[in-house]
Structure formats: structure tokens, C-alpha cells
Amino acid sequence: MNRLLLLLCTLCLALPLHAADALPGDSVYQLPVTLTDQAGHAAPLAARRGQPQLVSMFYASCTMVCPMIIETMKATRHAAGDPAALKLLAVSFDPARDSVARLADYAGRHQLDPRWWTLARAEPAEVRPLAALLGVQYRQLPDGDFNHSSVLLLLDADGRVVARSTIIGRTDPDFVAAVRRLAGGRP
């Protein structure tokens, strides 16, 4: 919790720095949140700037919808022609259980190619602002599971949300088209 307070409070100090590289006001990279990936590397979310991103949130213990979110991200990338520039990012909203090791294990089991896939965790207090930013609703249940909404976001190189889809379990043609337009995959 404290870490979030620190971050939000220093946001005011951080913003002018971002402004220096002309980060757009509608970029999600405005949020100073640190992500740790399945290999244990920690970096600010904003470090992903420069390449288009397909982003969602999940948690590793989820047995039904979350694997479908991951599969839908895979399928969307493929349907868009496997664009080389496109990066895929799924952030856990269960940092208590989703350790780096668990994320690595999950990536292995789902055969997520580390060249474009990132599974990431954030500090507990930073998860909700990130979800708020991405428009994801979630709520932890007493048994440790989560209720959550499912959404895929397409970010441009500067972190602006270009497209959004709530269709899970199959590819959304409009969303795929947006990915292809942005990331320029093979037709």
C-alpha cells in the first residue's frame, strides 16, 4: 500500500519528466507502475514504450476464463498475421500468489514465446490503479479466487489505447483488423 501512496504522491514530480519526451496525455504510460516479468526483470510500465502492445489482465490460478484470455491474445496475434513488432502483456491481479516463479511456470505450460510474451506482476497496491487505468474490474473473493472482467487492449507505440475488445474465446474481427492496421502484420 505504502508504495502506491509514494508513487501517486510523487506522480506530480514524475510528470514533468515524461512531458520532456512528450508522452501524450492519453498514454497509459503516464502511470508510474513497476512490473516484474516472468524472468524476474523489473521495469516501469513506461519502458514498453516504442512498440505496439496487446494488453490484458489475468491470474494464474484461474481455470476457466483466464486461459481463454491468454489463448485469445495468441489467436489475435496470429489472425493479425503474426506481426513481429507486436508485444503481448498480461498482468496478474493476484500478486499474492503469482510469484515470478509461478508466472514462469505458467508461461512454460502455455508455451508463451518470450520473444513477444510478457507475464508480469505488480506490487499489490499498484494493481488496482493499473486495472483502473485499463478499465478492468476485479474483486477478490473470500476463497482467494477473483471475479473480474475480461478485456483486451491494443496500445500504440506511445501507450494510447487504440482498440478494445471484450470478446473472449474467439477472435474479434474488428479488433484483429485494428491490430493489423497498427502493427502491420502479413495480410
Partner 1 sequence: MRRRAIAAALLALAVACATASAAEYVPMPGGRFASVLPADGKTAPAQVAPFALRTEPVTNAEFLAFVRRHPAWRRDRVPTVFADGRYLSQWAGPDTLGADALPAQPVTRVSWFAAQAYCASEHARLPSWYEWEMAAAADATRADARSDPAWRERVLDWYSRPSGHALPAIGGPPDLHGVRDLNGLVWEWVDDFNALLVGSDSRDQDGADKLKFCGAGAISMEQKENYATLMRIAMLSSLKATDTTANLGFRCARPIGETP
Partner 2 sequence: MSTLLRTLLATASALAIAACSGKPDAATPTTGAAPPQAAAQSGIPGDFGPPQGAPIHAVLTSPPNVPPPIHRNYPAKVIVDLEVIEKEMPISEGVTYTYWTFGGTVPGSFIRVRQGDTVEFHLKNSPDSKMPHNIDLHGVTGPGGGAASSFTAPGHESQFTFKALNQGVYVYHCATAPVGMHIANGMYGLILVEPPEGMPKVDHEYYVMQGDFYTVGKYREKGHQAFDMDKAIDEKPTYVLFNGHEGALTGDKALTAKVGETVRLFVGNGGPNLVSSFHVIGEIFDTVRQEGGTVEQHNVQTTLIPSGGAAMVEFRTQVPGSYVLVDHSIFRAFNKGALGILKVDGPENKAIYSGKEVDSVYLGDRAEPNLHAVATAAKANAAGTLSKDDQIAAGKQLFTGTCSVCHQANGAGLPSVFPPLAKSDYVAKLAGKDKDALIAIPLHGLNGKVTVNGVEYDSVMPPMTQLTDDEVANILTYVLNSWDNPGGQVTKDEVTKVRATPAPAAGGEH
Task: Summarize as ranges the residues that interact with partner 2 (CB under 8 A).
Answer: 68, 71-72, 75-76, 78-79, 168-171, 173, 176
Position among 34, 81, 105, 145 found at the interface with partner 1 (CB under 8 A): 145
The DSSP element (H or E) to which 184 belongs, if any, is: none
Whole-number minimum distance, CB 115 to partner 2, in Å? 20
Dig out the grid coordinates for 94 from the structure. 493476484
3-class DSSP state of 32: coil
83: left (phi over 0), alpha (psi -120 to 50) or beta: beta
Residues 14-53 that bind partner 1 (CB under 8 A): 15-16, 24-28, 30-31
Whole-number minimum distance, CB 159 to partner 2, in Å? 23
22 binds, among partner 2, partner 1, none (CB under 5 to 8 A by kind): none
Contact 136, 126 (CB under 8 A): no
Query: Mask: binding to partner 1, 68-107, rule CB under 8 A, as x and -?
Result: ----------------------------------------
Q: For the chain, what's the residue count?
A: 187
How many Cβ atoms sit within 10 Å of the Cβ of residue 22? 8
